[in-house]
Amino acid sequence: MRIAYLVNQYPKVSHSFIRREILALEREGLEVTRISIRGWNDGLVDEADFAERARTRYVLKAGALAIGVAAASAALTRPRAFARALRLAFRMARRAERPLPYHLIYLAEACLIFQWLRQAGVAHIHAHFGTNSVEVAMLVHALGGPPFSFTVHGPEEFDKAPLLRLAEKIRHAAFVVAISSFGRSQLFRLVEHAHWSKIRVVRCGLEQKDFETESAYGDSRNLVCVGRLCEQKGQLILVEAARRLAEAGVDFTLTLVGDGELRQEITALIDRHGLTDRIRITGWATSSEVRSHLLRGRALVLPSFAEGLPVVIMEAMALRRPVISTFVAGIPELVRDQEQGWLVASGDAAALASAMRRCLDSAPAELQAMGQAAFAQVSAQHKVETSARELKRLFEAGGPDTRSFQDS
């Protein structure tokens, strides 16, 4: 079976979980066509992402002329299907995040992708994130293309569900994937009970090699935070918690691995609190560099305000490192307080500082036991081979649609 993965921007530094999923599906015997709307010249740091870029077709790279010609061809040769897709584009533009011209562009993009998929013999389209790439996949289907599905990660999709017309997308999809039970519950809220059965939990997975690193637990006093520097991840409150520890005379250092829109504000807060000798920001890092930081650290700390279920938590647990995080979204489904680490109320700097201090005060044997518990938990829930087999079953059960590439 040949399927297509459609992503707004692929590959991307923070989307290694999509790459792992695609490669695992190929190991399961599926043929995967990679399509991205944009991103062919964005900065990458990982060799595996460079390899994926070479395998990916980019819609906007084809140029406005090719997209326009594809739209005109669809209108002339498939008038009924084009009219159906055009009506859908108008419907999706009502009270949406973006005005009508954007949705007409999505339709034109869908016309080009329709041609690519027909030439490749693709039987199913799967998109990641409930944003414009899903609308494009839905319009491809409306044009007479194959059935589509998508994975919702959160929190952006949940925050903007009405503006993204997420309920409409769920209704049209063959099935929808949530990465946690919490995520599934948020999708249940959006649609009628009749559509609940198509919403499935398929957890993001790690590859076998991610579980094979053995590392003795040292006496590091360094805590590691990995993630985009943005309001969702809570790094500003992490700096406030670090200030409390420093004022209490606690010996520690903190490494922030990542980059993003809040870097300047975070750096300014570090300077203001006089923590430049304790807190370091590395910028973006490769997968191997992230692993090295985690292995050298005492624990992962991720004080998120909003989440789906962070892959970096899985990665840290696979490396037998305890996790300090928050009772947010799908995180408690993987990390149990006092077992695999510590969970605190989101937004509470005092509680976060207390959990960080408990970690720093814990004996190596206690931390090692937590790390082993973390390893056992993530091994049971988050292997990419298991996730790929479930996705393959869903793809095969969902089609191919007998109307694909025939209804004009």
Tens digits of pLDDT across the chain (408 residues): 999 999 999 999 878 899 999 999 999 999 999 999 999 988 887 888 999 999 999 999 999 999 999 999 999 999 999 999 999 999 999 999 999 999 999 999 999 999 999 999 999 999 999 999 999 999 999 999 999 999 999 999 999 999 999 999 999 999 999 999 999 999 999 999 999 999 999 999 999 888 887 676 778 999 999 999 999 999 999 999 999 999 999 999 999 999 999 999 999 999 999 999 999 999 999 888 999 999 999 999 999 999 999 999 999 999 999 999 999 999 999 999 999 999 999 999 999 999 999 999 999 999 999 999 999 999 999 999 999 999 999 999 974 343 455 555
* Nearest-angstrom CA–CA distance, 294 and 226: 9
pTM over 0.85: yes
Distances (CA, A) of 290 to 16, 33, 109, 301: 12, 28, 36, 13
In angstroms, the CA 44 to CA 76 distance is 40
Which of 199, 217, 271, 279 is CA-nearest to residue 242? 279
Token match 């650290």: residue? 297
Pairwise CA distance, residues 363 & 356, whole Å: 13
- Other CB atoms within a 10 A radius of the CB of residue 238 amount to 25
Nearest 5°: the CA angle 310, 134, 10 is: 60
Residue 40 CA: distances (Å) to CA of 62, 198, 204, 242, 258: 11, 33, 25, 39, 21
Type of residue numbered 279: I
The two structure tokens encoding residue 115: 């041609």
Cα 26 to Cα 149: distance, rounded to the nearest angstrom: 18
The pLDDT of residue 338 is 96
Ordered structural domains, the chain, with CATH: 2-205+385-397 (3.40.50.2000), 208-382 (3.40.50.2000)
Report the candidate in 167, 123, 110, 152 with the shortest Cα–Cα distance to residue 394. 123
Task: Retrieve residue 144's tokens.
Answer: 């007479």
> Cβ–Cβ contacts within 10 Å for residue 234, how many?
27
- Gap between the Cα atoms of 2 and 123, Å rounded: 6
Q: Which of 362, 291, 356 is CA-nearest to residue 324?
A: 356
User: Furthest-apart CA pair in the chain: how many Å?
Assistant: 74
What are 87's two structure tokens?
């009506």
Report the DSSP pairing between strands 222-226 and 2-9: unpaired
Terminal Cα-to-Cα distance of the chain (whole angstroms): 24
- Spatial CA neighbour of 44 closest among 20, 10, 17, 18: 10
Q: Of 204, 163, 170, nearest to 187 (Cα)? A: 170
Contacts of 75 (CB under 8 A, 6+ apart): 82
Sorted by sequence, the CB contacts under 8 Å of residue 8 that are 6+ apart come out as 36, 37, 38, 39, 129, 131, 132, 133
